[in-house]
Structure formats: C-alpha cells, structure tokens
Chain A
Amino acid sequence: MNQISPGAFLAPAVDWLNANFHPFFALVTRVIEAVLGGIEAMLLVLPPVGLIVLVAGAAFFAAGLRIAVLSACCLGFCWLTGLWTASMQTLAVVVVSVAIAVAIAFPLGIWAARRASVEAALRPILDVMQTVPPWVYLIPAVMIFSLGRVPAIIATIVYGIPPMLRLTTLAFKGVPTDLKELGQAIGAKPRTILWKIEFPAAKPTLLVGLNQCILLSLAMVVLAGLVGAGGLGAEVTRGLTRMEMGLGLRAGLAIVAIALLLDRLSQGALDRQRRA
C-alpha cells in the first residue's frame, strides 16, 4: 500500500528544533523546574499537620466553616494514605500551570471582549482546542521537552487556557454598559475603570472560569503521570501497569480528595462573592 506519513516529514523538523534551539528549551525547562521546585519545597517545608491547619484556616476565611472542615479532611486523607509528597507534587504542578494559564488567558480574554475581530479570530482556535482529546496535547510537549514535569506543565497550560479565556471574555462583555459609562462620565482613567468597575462586576464569572481551569488542569496533570510527570498521576500509572491495585486505588482516592479540595474551595469563594 502506498502510504503517506505527515509525521515522517514533521519528525525531522522536531529534530531540527531540538538541535538548534536546544539552549532555549533548556532555559525554559530550567526556569519551570526552578519555580516548581520552589513551590514544592514551600508546600513540603511544613509538617503535614501544619499545612493542613494552615489551609483549613485560609479556607475558613475565604469560604466558611464547612469548606474549612472539608479541606482539612481532604488533605488529611492524602496524608493518611502515605502519598503526602506525591499529593504536594501534583498540587504544585496544578498551581504553577493554573497561574501561567490565567496570566495568558486573562489579558487575551479582555482583549477579545473589547474587539469583536479578536474574538472572531480566537473562536475557531478555541473550538478546535476544546474538542481535541487531552492526550493529543501531550505529544508535541513530549517531543520537544522529552519526558518529565516540564512537558506536563506545558500541556496543562495549553489545556487550561480555553475555558478561562472564554469565560473572561464572557465576563467582561457582561459588564453593564451604564456602569462603564458612569466611569467615563466621572472621568476615570481606563485603567481605573478596568480594575475598579469592570473587574468587580465580572468577578463571579471569572471565578467560574478559574474553577473550570483548575479542574481541567488537575485532570491533565494526572494524565501526565503517563509521561513521567511524577505526583499522584505517576502512582496511578504504576498501579495500573504493575497491577498493584492497592496503590492505584489509594492514589486514585487521593486524587479525588485533591479534586474535591480544589473544586469546593474555588466554588466556596464564588458563593461568598455572590452573597456579598
């Protein structure tokens, strides 16, 4: 059979990139590893009990007593299953990738809300990004950054951007015009209007976007355990491939605990916003 293989054309291009831009990719790798190492060290510097108390306290002030108890239980469970370090690694990767994804998606989303042409240009790209299965994102990341945590973070960032971008655009388009006009009428600077009028009005929708972004990122980070990203995903993969079901189940439940923690925390903050 006469076959074609686009991959066979692209593979040399990847090799060329790896050969000629190696210093650049190495730099990106080192920066990400350094930031990640720092956050991981921060999460692991306290004894587990200390961190649990700290998170529960923060949750109490951000979202109330119920969420505080829930987060203490979730983290306590991660500790109890003997997967504390792996859980913190996963959490660190999620935190770093969500922060970067938001830093990219937030300004782009505002821009798209201001200009219809930008939104029209972005929409088909976002459509494609959201229909493609998450697995596919790992492939280019692995090809360029090989195995490890860096491709996991890159793929997670790319995967987390679309929901945040969409909801940012939606949030800023939903700001009532009279509020903006009020700002212009009293002679506020565009920057002041953005931060003092539009941002507070858009906040509930923005928090929904953040919640989505966090959950999708967690799903991706867990999946990235397949490409050697470490953390709980790696434990699940180990359980799956070596048939160590006890380990796999413990890691799976710890992931559920982390997912619940992140979801309820961000939703609790949202509910408090709505009530205020």
Chain B
Amino acid sequence: MENFVTAFDMAVDDALFWLTDHAAFIFDGIRALLEGLYDGILWLLMLAPFHVVSVLAGLIAWRVMKSPGAGIATVLAMVFCWWMGLWAETMSTLALVVAASVIALAISLPLGVLAGLMPRLDRALAPVLDLIQTMPPYIYLLPAIALLGYGPATALIATVIVAMPPAVRLTALGIRRTPTEFIELGHATGVTPAQMFLKIRLPFAVPSIMAGVNQSLMMAFGMVVIAGIVGSGGLGETIFSAIRTLDIAKSIDAAIAIVVLTMVLDRVTQSLARAK
C-alpha cells in the first residue's frame, strides 16, 4: 500500500513534469486565451465609472423584469458594493462569471441541441453529466491548477466544467419536448430541416434553455467564489484572505457583496426565462 502511494505520487509528478516540459505551449496558449477574455471583459466593465455601470445594470433589470422597483433595487445593490469599497473586486467577480458562462454556454448549448435531436448522444452524455454533477465542485480546481498554475485561467476552466451540465441537460430537454403535433404540422407543410429547427423546435425550447442559462450562471457564480483559493481575484479571494487573517469585518462585507450580486444575477436571468 505504501508502495502504491509513493508510486502514484511519483507517477503524477513525472506526468506533470513531462506535460509542462513538452506541452507547455498548449497550456500557455489556453491560459493566454482565457486570461485575454477575462481581461477584456473586465476592461469593459471598468471602462465606465461605477455610477454609469450601476445605472446600466438597473436599466437592464427594469427592462427584463418590467418593474421599475427591480431596476432601482439593482442600482442600489450595485452602489452598495461600491460604497463598501469593493467595486473593483465585484467587477472582477462579475467578469469571471461572465467569461466562464460565455465559454460554458458556447459549448453546452450546441451540445444540448445535438443531444436533444439525437437520443443516442443523449444516452452517452448522461453518465458523464451525472459524474460531473456528483463530484464536489471544489476538486475541479486540482487538475486545472496543476496544468495552468495560479490565476484566473484556472478558476475559469474549473468554473466552465461546473457550469456546463445544467445547460446541456435543460437544452436537450427543451428540444426533446417539442409537441408532436407541431412537428407533424411541419412535415405536412413540407418545411426544410433548418426551418423545422429554427421555426418550430427552437421557439418551444426557449423557456427550458433560459432556465438552463440561469442554472449555469448560478453554478458559475458559486464556483468563481470558491476559486478565490487559487488566486482568481475578486470577492472570493477577498473572503479567503480575510478569513485567513481573521479580518471579520472585511469578510462580512465581501459576503454581503456576494449575496447582493447573486440575487441580482439570479432574479434577472430567472425573469428572462419566464418572460419568453
């Protein structure tokens, strides 16, 4: 048993050395790409002063939720984050969530559509998605940190993995749930496959897909905060370092900012799902 443990550790170290020696350019490329995306989004968010961003967020919430109260609450929530002196951290958390969600959705929406159209792919994906969802999210940081090192890229990769399953599942579900009468109607009127997909299947699937987007976003948010431990920056790292130095006041502030931001994101995307 002892032998197995040492042999295992040696093998892992050797494999990692080999990878970092021979495939460094691949991981450097991935890292540069991810950090570029993150930096770009963060640059956009930090371009305007906090009041402009807050008002914009409030306008979006107002339009989406169709209630001026929600818009005002959103503006207040954002201003509150600024007032606690956590504006930069809040924006970098938001940039991480957005970057991770964009990548996760870019992969999982097409995958979900394919799985919805092809029962065989769906059956092949199910155990993989089950496994991803069974494992505690924390451990996805391990392989990511081994290959990409500390920083936002690691946080992004782990977050993308965690955020994908709900979007794949709910997209496939939505596509599969098209009422048979409408598919038959399509066949009867002789639409092309592309029209069938865009005009009949997709519109029926939109509520389910939006529910998947909401779930993905919330999973991404949870993971981004955890990823503070690998130096992702943002509110997660603020909390992590505040807990380690027992700075209670600061950790409470950051926790409040996280809760406030979660609420805003969740409510906006949820009503987006309901509005359609």
Co-complex (A, B):
yes
Q: Closest CB-CB distance, B11 to chain A, in whole Å? A: 8
Number of interface residues of A (CB under 8 A): 52
> What sequence of 0s and 1s flags, for each residue 7-51 of chain B, a beta carbon within 8 Å of any chain A beta carbon?
011111100100000000000000000000000000000000000
Chain A residues closer than 8 Å to B142, beta-carbon distance:
236, 239-240, 245, 248-249, 252
Q: Quick one: which of B2, B145, B236 contacts A135, CB cutoff 8 A?
A: B236
Closest A residue, CB atoms, query B6: A246
Closest B residue, CB atoms, query A8: B249
Q: Quick one: which of B11, B84, B139, B218 contacts A222, CB cutoff 8 A?
A: B139
Q: Quick one: which of B4, B16, B139, B243 contacts A139, CB cutoff 8 A?
A: B243
Chain A residues closer than 8 Å to B5, beta-carbon distance:
81-82, 250
Instruction: Please report the number of residue pairs spanning A and B whose Cβ atoms sit closer than 8 angstroms.
Output: 141
Chain A residues closer than 8 Å to B251, beta-carbon distance:
7, 139, 143
Q: Closest CB-CB distance, B1 to chain A, in whole Å? A: 6
Q: Give the complex CA separation of A218 and B139 in angstroms.
A: 12
Asked if A131 is at the interface (CB within 8 A of a chain B CB), the reply is yes
Given contacts A226-B229, A227-B243, A240-B141, is CB(A5)–CB(B249) below 8 Å? yes
Q: Give the complex CA separation of A260 and B131 in angstroms.
A: 8
Q: Quick one: which of B13, B83, B141, B255 contacts A136, CB cutoff 8 A?
A: B255
Asked if A57 is at the interface (CB within 8 A of a chain B CB), the reply is no
By CB atoms of chain A within 10 A, which of B226, B240, B243, B248 has the most? B248
Chain A residues closer than 8 Å to B239, beta-carbon distance:
135, 139
Chain A residues closer than 8 Å to B253, beta-carbon distance:
5-7
Where the two chains meet, the residues of A that have a C-beta atom closer than 8 Å to any C-beta of B are 1, 3-8, 10-11, 14, 79-82, 128, 131-136, 138-139, 142-143, 215, 218-219, 222-223, 225-227, 233, 236-237, 239-241, 244-250, 252, 255-256, 259-260, 263
Chain A residues closer than 8 Å to B256, beta-carbon distance:
6-7
B138 touches A236 (CB 8 A): yes
For the complex, would chain B's binding face be called helix, strand, loop or mixed by DSSP majority? Answer: helix
A3 touches B85 (CB 8 A): yes
Given contacts A5-B84, A131-B262, A134-B222, is CB(A246)–CB(B135) below 8 Å? no
B266 touches A131 (CB 8 A): yes
Which residues of B (95-140) have their CB < 8 Å from a CB of A?
A: 134-139
Asked if B146 is at the interface (CB within 8 A of a chain A CB), the reply is yes
